[in-house]
């Protein structure tokens, strides 16, 4: 069994000068492909259940799916709750066998975010699992704008919450389909200068691959969340499978054809983050 906590994989990444992919899942097809990709690359992987995934599949079911895949895997697999918005949701994930909780209080005033995130971190640590928090709101492409992370607020957040990983807002945007602009490296350096906590980039699909690789090697960013990029690869493979034979109606036969393209896309993501083969 290679079920791991977020702390275990990110501390190794911090020491080793690489980052780990937080790959956003929507169902069995993609989570299975992500583990296959991680095994092919000999690298750890973080399976993430975000709000969209949880709307489709209940947390207790997702916990069993993640843990089953981890038990069969030859590489470390983290079962991670992405963007938990309530204490109740985080508690349910913990009870469902997740090994990492991400509490997102980034829309809230700083003191409230600190207090609520600290409570989730304490709950997680008592259960022997990890906690990620977010300081500085990361916006959405075509939607809510970002509020960049203030380095002094970040150091207070890390100290007072005792999180194991800290998501920051440094020019990254969720749901971005094009790789534009890149991250604010001066702000990243200012944040990592005042904290030792592994840093996380949400909205990693919009970050140029070369910058992901460089920051994985040379900064405290140890986790890049990748969702949109891989969903696009899945969608393209599914579209081609459906159109290849319009008379087909068996969903299992159709979905099987998404596996190999998605494995290849996920392998490219994982490889660029520089993890040495285990």
| CB neighbour list of residue 185: distance below 8 Å, 6 or more residues apart | 170, 215
Give the H or E element holding residue 106: none
Secondary structure (3-state) at 219: coil
| CB neighbour list of residue 278: distance below 8 Å, 6 or more residues apart | 42, 43, 44, 74, 75, 76
List beta partners, residue 183.
none
List beta partners, residue 166.
133, 199
Secondary structure (3-state) at 168: strand
Q: Is 82 a catalytic residue?
A: yes
What are the φ/ψ torsions at residue 176 (nearest 5 degrees)? -85, 125
The radius of gyration of the chain from alpha carbons, rounded to an integer in Å, stands at 18
CA pair distance 76, 221, nearest whole angstrom: 19
Secondary structure (3-state) at 152: helix
What are the φ/ψ torsions at residue 247 (nearest 5 degrees)? -80, -15
Structure tokens at 37: 């990709």
Reported in sequence order, the residue ranges of the chain that DSSP labels E, i.e. its strands, are 3-4, 20-25, 45-49, 77-84, 100-103, 130-135, 165-168, 199-201, 221-226
Of the candidates 82, 104, 150, 164, the residue annotated as catalytic is 82
The set of catalytic residues is 82
């Amino acid at each position: 069994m290679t079920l791991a906590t977020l702390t275990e994989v990110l501390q190794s990444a911090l020491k080793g000068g690489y980052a780990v992919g937080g790959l956003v899942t929507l169902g069995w097809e993609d989570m299975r492909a992500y583990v296959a990709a991680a095994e092919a690359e000999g690298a750890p992987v973080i399976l993430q259940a975000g709000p969209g995934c949880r709307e489709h599949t209940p947390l207790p079911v997702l916990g069993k799916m993640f843990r089953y895949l981890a038990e069969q895997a030859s590489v470390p697999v983290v079962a991670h709750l992405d963007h938990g918005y309530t204490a109740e949701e985080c508690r349910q994930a913990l009870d469902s066998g997740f090994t990492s909780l991400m509490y997102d209080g980034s829309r809230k005033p700083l003191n409230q975010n600190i207090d609520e995130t600290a409570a989730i971190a304490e709950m997680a640590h008592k259960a022997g699992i990890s906690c990620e928090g977010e300081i500085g709101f990361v916006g959405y492409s075509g939607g809510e704008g970002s509020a960049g992370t203030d380095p002094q607020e970040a150091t207070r957040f890390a100290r007072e919450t005792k999180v194991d990983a800290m998501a920051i807002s440094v020019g990254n945007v969720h749901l971005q389909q094009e790789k534009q602009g890149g991250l604010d490296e001066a702000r990243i350096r200012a944040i990592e200068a005042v904290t030792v906590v592994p840093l996380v980039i949400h909205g990693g699909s919009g970050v140029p691959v070369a910058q992901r690789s460089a920051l994985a090697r040379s900064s405290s960013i140890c986790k890049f969340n990748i969702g949109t990029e891989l969903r696009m690869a899945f969608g393209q493979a599914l579209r081609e499978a459906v159109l290849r034979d319009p008379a087909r109606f068996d969903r299992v036969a159709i979905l099987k054809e998404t596996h190999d393209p998605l494995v290849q896309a996920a392998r490219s993501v994982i490889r660029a983050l520089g993890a040495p083969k285990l």
